[in-house]
Amino acid sequence: MTVRGISLLTRYKMPAEGAILVCEDLFDAFQKNRNGFHRRTLRPPNIPNLMDSLFPESYSASRARFLRDVERVRPQWADSSLESYALKNHPALSIDWLWAHPRKKENLVMISTAEHGIEGYVGSAMLKIFMDEFAPRLNKDNTGLLLVHAINPWGMQNRLRVNPLNVDLNRNFVYDGKYRAEINPEYDLIASFLNPQRQARAIRAETIPFLVTAIKKMIRPGRARVRAASLLGQHRHEKGIYFGGTHVQEETQVLMDLYRRALAEYKNFFQVDVHTGFGPRYQMTVLVSPLDDTPSAETAARFNYPLVHKVNAREFYAISGDMGEYVYRLRDAEFPATKVFAGGFEFGTFGDSLPALLKSLRITILENQLRHYAVVTKKAEEEIRAEYDELFFPSEKRWQEKALADGRQAFEGILRAYDLL
C-alpha cells in the first residue's frame, strides 16, 4: 500500500518524508478498518436491559429513559415543568426539556444534547450521568435545571448530524438573523471536492481519488484553508456539508426561546452542550466560547480538567452561527447583568492526526453524497453508514468507558469551579 502511496505523492510533488508518513498512517488506519479494528456491525435491535445501559440504542429508547428519569428528578425541586416541541413535519419526533426551578432563581444549569443528532447517543449518556450523579448534589434552594433531550431529534433518530433540511444546527444560530450567502468564500474553491454531485461508491473505490484530490487541495489552497473553509459553515450550498441554512430552523428557534427565558429569569447561567467527533480519541475536550475572555490554560486549572479549548481557529476551529456564541451575544445585547458560561463537551473519535482528519472528512463527504445522490450498492451504503457511526459514536468499549470517566471529571470540575457542588 505504501508503494502506491509514494507514487501518488511523487506525482503531486509533496515533501516526501512527511507525506509518506501521512499515507502510511492513513493506509494503516484503513488496514485496521478492514481487519475489524474499527469496524462496527449493526447492533442487534433488542438488547436486554436496554434502559439501564448508559449509551442508548435509539432516539426513542433515549427519550423514554429521559422521560422516566425526569420523574425522579422533579420532586427534588420546588417547581418543575416538562415541556416538548414536536417537529412540524415529523410529529412523532420531539425536543423535550425539563425546567426545575429553585425557590430563589440564582443559578441555572443547562445540559443539552444532540444538536448534531447522531452525537446525541453520547449526549444521552452524559445527560443520564448528570441526572443520576450530579443533580442530586446541587443546592435546590438557589440552583435550577434546564435539561434538553435531543435538540435535533430527526438527526438522532436517523443517526445523522444534520436536520431534515440538511442544516447543521450549530451553523444556524446567526445572532442578527442575516444568513449571509457571502461568508466563507473559500468554501467555493473546494466545493466540488467537498460535495461531489454523483453517486457514492464503496469506501475502497473512493479512497484513492479522494486522497489524490485532498493532497492537491492541501497544496493549494493549503491544508489550513481547506480545514477552515470546510468547517466554518456556509449558507449557499444547500446540499453541501456544513450547510448553516438560509433561515432560522424550527429546532434553533426552540432553543433561542429557551435561552431568552433562562437569561431573563436567572442571575447565573451555566451550560454544557454535548458533542462528538473532533479532538484526540481518548481525551474529551471542554470547549469554551471565544467570547469568554479567560485564557484556556487558566480555565483548565480552574476546572481541574486537562484539555480546554476555545472555539476559534487557533485552538479548535472557527464556526459561524455557533450556538454557544449566540448565548453570549444574547446576554450582551439583552441581559447584560446575567453571568454566562456556555461551554461544551467534545468527545474525539478518530483522533486529531492528519490521517484521522482526512478519514473523517472522507466519510462526512460520502455520507452527504449518498443522501443527495444515492449510492451504488446496499453494501457500499452499509459500509459508509457504519464508518459514519464510528465517527460520532464509537463502539469500542475502551472508548466508551473513557468517555464516561472524562464526562464525570469535567462535570465535577466545572460545577465545583462555580461553587455549585
Residue whose CB is less far from Zn ion, 346 or 387: 346
Closest among 39, 28, 25, 8 to 383, alpha carbons compared? 39
User: Which residue, 94 or 364, has its beta carbon nearer to Zn ion?
Assistant: 364
Name the minimum Å distance from CB 346 to Zn ion. 7
What residues have CB less than 8 Å from 73, skipping those under 6 apart? 80, 98, 100, 131, 135, 145, 147
Q: Which is nearer to Zn ion, 66 or 392 (CB)?
A: 392
Amino acid at site 236: R
Q: Show Cβ contacts of residue 19 under 8 Å, excluding neighbours closer than 6 positions.
A: 9, 215
Residue closer to Zn ion, measured from CB, 164 or 344: 344
**Residue number closest to Zn ion, CB atom:** 275
- Judged by CB, which is closer to Zn ion: 65, or 275? 275
To the nearest whole angstrom, how small is the minimum distance from the Cβ of residue 170 to Zn ion?
6
What are the cell numbers at 37?
A: 479494528
Please write down the long-range contacts of 394-401, taking CB distance under 8 Å and 24 or more positions apart.
394/281, 394/349, 395/40, 395/43, 396/38, 398/282, 399/281, 399/282, 399/349, 400/55, 400/125
Task: Note whether 289 and 276 are within 8 A (CB).
Answer: no
**How far is it, in rounded angstroms, from Cα 171 to Cα 165?**
13
**What is the C-alpha R_g of the chain?**
21
CB 150 within 8 A of CB 63: yes
Closer residue to Zn ion in complex, CB, 196/348: 348
Based on CB atoms, which residue is closest to Zn ion, 29 or 114?
114
Q: How far is the CB of 392 from Zn ion (least distance, A)?
A: 8
**By C-beta, is 112 or 338 nearer to Zn ion?**
112
Q: Which is nearer to Zn ion, 116 or 385 (CB)?
A: 116
CB 268 within 8 A of CB 108: yes
Cβ at position 161, least distance to Zn ion in Å? 7
Task: Give how far Cα 121 sits from Cα of 136, 147, 394, Å.
Answer: 23, 15, 10
CB of 118 to Zn ion, least distance (A): 9
Residues 6+ apart with CB under 8 A from 76: 100, 135, 136, 140
Degrees, nearest 5: CA angle 257-99-347: 80
Residue type, 223: R
- Binding-site ranges for Zn ion (CB under 5 A): 116, 119, 275
Least separation in angstroms between residue 301's CB and Zn ion is: 26
State the nearest-atom distance from the C-beta of 406 to Zn ion, in Å: 16
In whole angstroms, give the CA distance from residue 330 to residue 39.
43
Q: Shortest approach of Zn ion to residue 210 CB, angstroms?
A: 23
Q: C-beta of 278: minimal distance to Zn ion in Å?
A: 8
DSSP class per residue in 49-77: TGGGSSS-SSHHHHHHHHHHHHHHHGGGS
